[in-house]
Amino acid sequence: MNKTKVEFITSLLSDKKLSASHKERLYPLILSEIRQTGDVDEHIWSEIQEIKKIIQKDNSLEMSQSDDNNRHEPLKTSEILKLFKTGNKLKWITHIFPNSETEEFNYDKVTANAIEEYNSIASDLPLNLRGIIGLFLKPKKSDPNQSTFSYLGDKYETWWSEEIKQWCFQNIGLHPDTNEILSRTIITPFKKSIEVRTGEDFIMATKHRLTKRYGAVFLKKINLDFTEVRKSTRFFTGVDQLMSGIACLFSPILKRIDISNSVRVSTTISEVNERYVTLVTISHIGSNVEDEFNHGSISSIISGDLLIAKDRFLSLCDWNIIANFSNGTFCIPILGDATKDTKFNERVEGFTHQLIFY
């Protein structure tokens, strides 16, 4: 077996640009080529066998990560994010530490405790949220100089930025959230990246994302009605990821804008399975499905941008579609524990997306 071919095979199997699953599929072909060649030096054969072990290990890791990426646990995501409100460690990153004669804010101690708690729950978070929170709390090993995180397209300094560390060094015992500038420019943007805090914040974030994706003219083309969004709307989620998914829901609406340019967005509190949840409803007024409903209808409805939306909503919220078909009105579960389609007695005002937050 000539040296050029050996080098090519070992180089191919070692190439990090190819996924482990692709390499594993190539391996039988390479093995066949080796056998046809005849004699192979023992050290070459040993090297290829070692590469195979690495491929199998990497492929197993890829499969594990794929399962992790497809996991849908919005309740768990919400409970983890609520640690920033009700926990004993992450909470003190975003809330003023209780000052007393015996206990005062200590930046290093609070940071270490928060990172410890974050490390214990990070694997249960969606990847996007994991990245935002992790970057806010500590430098990335892969890029230790990246000291900003993003929220709605803007960059903000992190908890470990020199700006906060220097201020804490100069103001021993005080939480940086007591400083108006640090609170407004660093801590509050981070809070808003993991929680919709008011109805106004929800409306602003939605308009921002729609404008970014479809252009400023979009808001003039479409009649967006937010009057039924509660002022007190509040729920924990990955806001950027959520808004990316919501923007995808408007792609089919734009394609049917000749039917109606009216979209109503509302938020309500409801009880689902003995638990109070926030419902976000987006209805394309007057838009219906002309075909009859059957259990295979979902494959024709969920395609293109709606498939992308499904990916964005994973572990953030449950998602139902409620629509009028020629043979009745049906609720179709897209994400969540519900698996059966439900027929409604009354028609809805249009093709409706229902997002459920815990």
Asked if 187 contacts 176 with a C-beta cutoff of 8 angstroms, the reply is yes
Confidence at 161, pLDDT banded by 50, 70, 90: very high
Q: At 70, is the pLDDT very low, low, confident or very high (cuts 50, 70, 90)?
A: confident
249 pLDDT exceeds 90? yes
Distance, CA of 74 to CA of 175 (rounded, Å): 31
Highest mean predicted confidence (pLDDT) among 99-108, 144-153, 156-165: 156-165
Provide the b/e sequence for 143-174 (b: ≥16 CB within 10 Å). eeeebebebbeeebbbbbbebbeebbeeeeeb
Neighbouring CB atoms inside 10 A of 180's CB total: 8
76 has a pLDDT exceeding 60? yes
List, for residues 256-277, the tens digit of each pLDDT value.
Answer: 999 999 999 999 999 988 899 9
Question: Residue 140: what pLDDT?
Answer: 85
Rounded to the nearest integer, the mean pLDDT of the chain is 87
What's the mean pLDDT in 104-125? 95
Indicate if the pLDDT at residue 209 is higher than 70. Answer: yes
Whole-prediction pTM: 0.79
Q: How far, in Å, CA of 149 to CA of 88, rounded?
A: 24
Domain residue spans of the chain: 3-69, 74-194, 199-357
Residue 304, sorted as left (phi over 0), alpha (psi -120 to 50) or beta, turns out to be left
Predicted confidence (pLDDT) per residue in 275-303, tens digit: 999 999 999 999 999 999 987 777 778 89
The token pair that represents 225 in the structure block: 């009605």
Share of the chain above pLDDT 70, in %: 79
Which of the 8 DSSP states describes residue 144? Answer: T
* pLDDT of 65 over the 50 cut: no
Residue 188 has pLDDT above 50, yes or no: yes
Of 304, 277, 289, 259, which Cα lies nearest the Cα of 352? 289
Q: What is the pLDDT of residue 62?
A: 45
Residue 310 has pLDDT above 50, yes or no: yes
Looking at the DSSP bridge assignments, the partners of residue 271 are 276
Tell me the chain's radius of gyration from C-alpha atoms. 26
CATH 3.30.565.10 fits 199-357, yes or no: yes
For the cut 70, the answer to whether the pLDDT of residue 306 exceeds it is yes
- Angle, helix 305-313 to helix 239-255, in steps of 10 degrees: 160
Residue 326 has pLDDT above 70, yes or no: yes
Measured from the Cβ of residue 314, the count of other Cβ atoms closer than 10 Å reads 21
Q: What percent of the chain has pLDDT above 90?
A: 70
Q: What is the pLDDT of residue 63?
A: 43
Q: Region 142-167: what's the mean pLDDT?
A: 92
- CA dist 199 to 81, 204, 215, 229, 235, Å? 19, 9, 23, 6, 10
Q: Please list, in sequence order, all residues whose beta carbon lies within 8 angstroms of the beta carbon of residue 244, skipping any fewer than 6 positions away.
A: 209, 312
Cα separation, 100 vs 303, in Å, equals: 57
What contacts 59, CB < 8 A, 6 or more positions away? 20, 21, 23, 24
pLDDT at 134: 96
Query: Comparing 10 with 252, which gets the higher pLDDT?
Result: 252
Q: How confident is residue 20, by pLDDT bands cut at 50, 70 and 90?
A: low
Question: Is 38 a residue whose pLDDT tops 60?
Answer: no
Q: Is 170 within 8 Å of 162 (Cβ atoms)? A: no
**Are 133 and 155 spatial neighbours (Cβ–Cβ below 8 Å)?**
no
Buried b (16+ CB within 10 A) or exposed e, 116-141: ebbeebbeebbebbbbbbbbbbbeee
Query: How confident is the model at residue 297, as a pLDDT?
Result: 72
In this structure, are strands 195-196 and 154-157 parallel, antiparallel, or unpaired?
unpaired
